[in-house]
Amino acid sequence: MNNKLIMLCIVLTFGHMHIWSTHIINFFFRSYPDMSEQQQAAKYAHKIKNPGQLTKYRIKSVSADPQVAGIFCTYAGYNTVSNLNGQVIFPNKQSKPAISIVIASHFTPVSLTANTLRNLEIEKGKTYASFKAERKQDEETEEYYWEVEPTTLTNNIIRQDAIFILAKPDKVYVPTGITLALKSQNLLLPDIYVKKGIMKIARALYMINLKQFFAPVKKEFKQEKAYYLELVN
């Protein structure tokens, strides 16, 4: 009897998780390789001969701030930063497996109401880079793949359903062309590479002035005669 109750609880728990689960869009920032593997091996080969130098190098690599962490990104009203592994995760609000990616160091929020954004715009005179990533399926092999190509913005407007990366465009490299993809309800975009010198602290200070536009939605409920009216602030 106890075993049956345990199994029932497990089924109900996983069923609940499945009903309320949210599909995601995610990708990883990777460090842009500034040298080939052969060059890296030659650079550190002499350190292996000296245990003291090797230990010093290992301590430095562990204690240093990861280059791929702390990069601000927005999407569909959500604001987040890449974690220590360089991963960025958003809830998937796309109806199709296609998404725009925009990179710029400055943007202007265009308000719909006092605390609601209509869209973002690139500041005049500021450079940007934009791309479109679309997941497709090969008709012959039935394999899935991402196709990434550069694009241009219309009137410098960043759509709400675009992933916006707050960084200088010359410090972020988005590989174009075809990359193999997984068949999944979750979208795992191709890796994006960041170069040395990306100014994460400056971008964090920049976002402090705009944090009110990415605050959680506040809901209020008003009781009517036969139902509750939900109000969104």
| pTM given for the model | 0.70
pLDDT score of 178 more than 80 = yes
**What is the distance between the alpha carbons of residues 51 and 119, in angstroms, rounded to a whole number?**
55
Give me the helix-helix angle, 51-63 and 37-49, nearest 10°.
130
Q: What is the pLDDT of residues 22-43, one digit of tens each?
A: 789 999 999 998 755 555 556 5
Tell me the average pLDDT of the chain: 76
Of 26-30, 93-97, 118-122, 167-171, where does mean pLDDT reach its minimum? 118-122
Domain boundaries, the chain: 23-232
**What is the distance between the alpha carbons of residues 145 and 176, in angstroms, rounded to a whole number?**
12
State the pLDDT at residue 106. 85
State the pLDDT at residue 113. 66
Per-residue 3-state assignment (H helix, E strand, C coil) for 9-52? HHHHHHHHHHHHCCCEEEEEEEECCCCCHHHHHHHHHHHHHCHH
Angle formed at CA 67 by CA 80 and CA 156, multiple of 5 degrees: 50
Mean pLDDT for 104-118 is: 74
Beta bridge partners of 228: 223
How would residue 2 be classed by pLDDT, with cut points 50, 70 and 90?
very low
Q: What is the pLDDT of residues 188-218, one digit of tens each?
A: 999 999 998 887 777 776 666 666 555 555 5
State the pLDDT at residue 118. 73
**What is the distance between the alpha carbons of residues 213 and 111, in angstroms, rounded to a whole number?**
9
